[in-house]
């Protein structure tokens, strides 16, 4: 990989163009600039599953996401810090963002207790107890050495009653103050997180308070947690209109192609999600028309790429018949080739949207995308997600 120089920017984000609500910009970090819109492949435990650093770079990755909670449990912050921080440990010299563990406070409901001081987790590895306070979380993230870090926040389910959402907003606000006061590392951006569920007035209250603290970037939290697409799109639009135009906007946990296009249309700059890599390992591959089930018998004799015109390593090198064979034979190489394809599809989508915005034709691009791409039925996706959550020992959302 090309070594990217360490740089020091006085400004976090440069807005370069608008086309309707969609935006193009550049996010400045200590490990390089990130063109936006940007998608962050998820390296939860310091690894994008099945890929190495060369693969990650080759698909066009500009920034990765790691998870503080999981890295804290294994291998431990001390070890990662000792071996060059997360960049040195992973052998990845590009920008990294770390999540705080706040989402695990939501998704691991059966393994945690939340109070004003923070989140007490029971380790899913060995049952040991660990307290994540706002101050401790920031200390862990500083020591991991990510370029962008997230504060500890409180996320609740889409169907939570108003008083629960309101409590989550107020607690997230109080924790944000504590996180900001605890943050001391230079050259590292601490973003704020806006909560509020599906209540517009609570979103506004949260945004106004978080913006008053003066963070260099803002995340939209508490969405993609079971509320359905139309409500997610609506609340994303409501929230982005509240945020400053000269700061990056990050929608947490969203990664379906149709969701990325619709969220960019509403002014989002950054995304992360495990979806592209997770479904790849289940044989679901993206194409311009929708998802391909590579395990299906129809691919057995397809002596052609997974998708014509795709520039990923998998499509440039192997036939669909070969990838089909790997999955049917349960060969691990299939996971890698499928993951390369799906990530390249998503990252190329971000590149195409950026170019369309710069050329003032995003509306046309958006219409053509939806004219070609058929997403899975939302009910089917919900059932599949419930099965996955159950397989992970996690509660449904």
| Residues designated catalytic | 99, 272
User: Distances from the Cα of 87 to the Cαs of 54, 81, 95, 99, in angstroms?
Assistant: 14, 10, 8, 15
CB contact at 8 A, 30 and 147: yes
What's the DSSP call for residue 389? H
Instruction: Assign 3-state DSSP to the chain and report helix, strand, coil percentages, each to 5.
Output: 45, 20, 40
What's the DSSP call for residue 75? T
What's the farthest any 2 CA atoms get from each other in the chain? 60
Q: How many CA atoms lie within 13 A of 51 on its CB side?
A: 30
Q: How far apart are CA 370 and CA 258, in angstroms?
A: 7
Instruction: With CA atoms as reference, report the closest residue to 123 among 111, 114, 131, 113.
Output: 111
CB contact at 8 A, 351 and 292: no
Q: How far apart are CA 9 and CA 121, in angstroms?
A: 36
């053509």: which residue's tokens? 368
Q: Tell me the two tokens of residue 386.
A: 């419930």
CB contact at 8 A, 152 and 133: yes
Q: Tell me the two tokens of residue 236.
A: 């994303």
Cis, peptide link before residue 37, omega less than 30° from 0: yes
Q: How many CA atoms lie within 13 A of 23 on its CB side?
A: 25
């Amino acid at each position: 990989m090309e070594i990217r120089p360490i740089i020091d920017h006085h400004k976090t984000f440069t807005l370069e163009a608008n086309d309707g609500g969609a935006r193009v910009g550049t996010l400045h970090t200590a490990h390089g600039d990130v063109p936006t819109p940007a998608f962050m492949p998820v390296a939860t435990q310091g690894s994008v599953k099945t890929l190495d650093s060369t693969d990650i770079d080759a698909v066009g990755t500009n920034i990765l996401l790691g998870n503080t909670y999981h890295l804290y449990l294994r291998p431990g912050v001390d070890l990662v810090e000792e071996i060059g921080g997360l960049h040195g440990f992973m052998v990845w010299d590009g920008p990294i963002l770390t999540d705080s563990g706040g989402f695990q406070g939501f998704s691991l409901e059966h393994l945690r207790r939340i109070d004003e001081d923070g989140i007490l987790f029971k380790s899913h590895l060995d049952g040991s107890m660990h307290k994540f306070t706002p101050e401790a979380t920031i200390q862990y993230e500083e020591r991991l050495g990510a370029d962008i870090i997230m504060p500890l926040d409180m996320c609740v389910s889409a169907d939570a009653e108003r008083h629960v959402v309101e409590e989550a907003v107020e607690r997230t606000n109080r924790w944000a103050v504590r996180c900001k006061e605890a943050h001391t590392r230079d050259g590292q951006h601490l973003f704020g997180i806006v909560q509020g569920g599906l209540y517009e007035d609570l979103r506004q209250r949260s945004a106004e308070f978080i913006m008053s603290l003066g963070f260099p970037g803002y995340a939209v939290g508490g969405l993609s947690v079971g509320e359905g697409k139309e409500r997610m799109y609506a609340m994303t639009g409501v929230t982005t209109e509240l945020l400053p135009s000269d700061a990056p906007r990050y929608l947490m946990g969203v990664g379906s192609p149709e969701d990325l296009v619709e969220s960019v249309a509403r002014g989002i700059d950054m995304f992360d999600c495990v979806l592209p890599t997770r479904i790849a390992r289940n044989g679901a591959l993206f194409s311009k028309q929708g998802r391909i089930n590579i395990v299906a018998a129809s691919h057995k004799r397809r002596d052609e790429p997974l998708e014509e015109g795709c520039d990923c390593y998998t499509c440039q090198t192997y036939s669909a018949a070969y990838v089909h064979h790997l999955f049917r034979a349960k060969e691990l190489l299939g996971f890698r080739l499928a993951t390369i394809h799906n990530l390249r599809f998503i990252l190329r989508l971000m590149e195409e949207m950026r170019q369309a915005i710069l050329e003032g034709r995003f509306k046309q691009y958006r219409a053509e995308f939806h004219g070609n791409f058929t997403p899975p039925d939302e009910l089917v996706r919900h059932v599949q997600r419930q099965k996955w959550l159950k397989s992970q020992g996690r509660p449904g959302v």
